[in-house]
Structure 1
Amino acid sequence: MEKKYINDPLVYEVINAVLELPEFKKDSVDYMIDFANPLLFDLEMDGDNFYGYAEKYFGEFDKVAFENQIKALKYSYYQKGKINNITLVDYDLTNIKTDQQFDSLNQSLNKYLPYVAISFPIFNKQKNTAFISYHYDCGFLCGYGKKFFVKKINGKWQIILVYDEYIS
């Protein structure tokens, strides 16, 4: 499978805006994992609760369109130079064929601690609200994550609902 790079300028606008929000800017990391799959969210386990929030915050909500956005991004990657003040760390799953290769790839991330991983924003039809997940990793049993909705209000992306939060 070949890597698919994200070209949509709106995606980078949202990612850069999220990284500038005070609750994330404090992390002050140099590295971000270059993998846009929203792997931090499991529709199988959490779908019913999520869809209730999506209907409320997305306005006109299309479940099929949402799920198609997720499927299309399974092997998507950010482009270097499009995310401000951060170095993208290659996290190439396109050639992984064994658990050992996957474990090795995950172990290689330790040299980039602390780092963040940010999912591709999943947009509503109007593209003014998005669901996104954020994970900060600072080592073994050190990190946290959030899943949240952002909305463009008065020209700025703002968090309107933190859907889920965890600390590791």
Structure 2
Amino acid sequence: MVKNLLILILAFLLFSCKKEDENFHLKYEVLNQLIAADISENKASGYTEEYLYKISKPIDLKFREKLSEKKNEIIEPTPPSSHGIIYLPENGTFTKDDLAYIKIQIKTNSNFVLDTAKITSKVEFIDTEKFKKFQKSQEKYLSVKDYWKKFREEFGDKCLRNYSIPYFNKEKNICIVINSISCGPLWGGGETSVYKKINGKWKVIKTFNHWVS
């Protein structure tokens, strides 16, 4: 009886793990394509800045499309945060079922740890724990210049290239990614991008929530 119970528990755990990782390979497929595209574009343009890559985990998502108006003033949406909220466009790209499905992914991905061995391009990733400690230590600095001076002392003269974990619709043929690049004071920008898998490649079909600094 006890043996059968243990078998059932093991089977349940195995099933749960499998369900949690159902987009595992797709995540790395998208990330590998985006990173490879960075390298290719930089070579083509002669861009020489070195990147430190960071993969972030958004904590929530909502639908938002139109800018709101208040007292005849247009209120711009806040810049997207790779570790904050994903704002989905209400243009039919994502359905309410997709929204619910992505919310599940956000919960299951809370423990996601990047396996750099699965990244096919030779790039450098920032040490996540070291970066967290650095961020906390810099809370007392008000100057952006001071922040970047300390950043370069700690991590070298490099730009921080950030992608969020890709999140997929139910059909797994469309995903959404927040991306940004920061190289110093008044040298940064980002956007939220929607990709669709077409002929085996993830193609951008929409970008929004653009920001620059």
Is TM more than 0.5 here?
yes
Displacement, 1:22? 6.5
Amino acid at match of 1:125: K
Q: How does 1:109-124 map to 2 (within 5 A)?
A: 109-110=151-152, 111-112=155-156, 113-124=158-169
Which residue in 2 is equivalent to 1:87? 124
Cα pair distance change 1:140/1:76, threshold 3 Å: farther
Q: How does 1:146-157 map to 2 (within 5 A)?
A: 146-157=191-202
Which residue in 1 is equivalent to 2:107? 71
CA RMSD of aligned residues (A): 3.3
Cα pair distance change 1:109/1:10, threshold 3 Å: farther
SS of 2:56's partner is coil
Aligned residues: 152
Amino acid at match of 1:88: F
Over the matched positions of the two proteins, sequence identity in percent amounts to 26
SS of 1:148's partner is strand
Residue 30 of structure 2 corresponds to residue 14 of structure 1: yes
Displacement, 1:92? 2.8
Aligned to 2:52, which of 19, 28, 31? 31
SS of 1:127's partner is coil
Q: TM-score, normalised by structure 2?
A: 0.59
CA offsets 1:117-142 (integer angstroms, 9 cap, x no match): 11000001111110001111111221
Q: How does 1:86-105 map to 2 (within 5 A)?
A: 86-92=123-129, 102-104=135-137
Displacement, 1:89? 1.2
Displacement, 1:61? 3.4
Gaps of 5+ in 2: 1-20, 66-86, 140-146
Q: Is the 8 A contact 2:97 2:170 kept in 1?
A: yes
Gaps of 5+ in 1: 1-5
CA distance, structure 2, for counterparts of residue 122 and residue 87 of structure 1 = 23
Q: Whose RCO is larger (CA < 8 A, sep 6+)?
A: 1
- Quick check: which has more Rg, 1 or 2? 2
CA offsets 1:92-117 (integer angstroms, 9 cap, x no match): 39xx7xxx774238867542521211
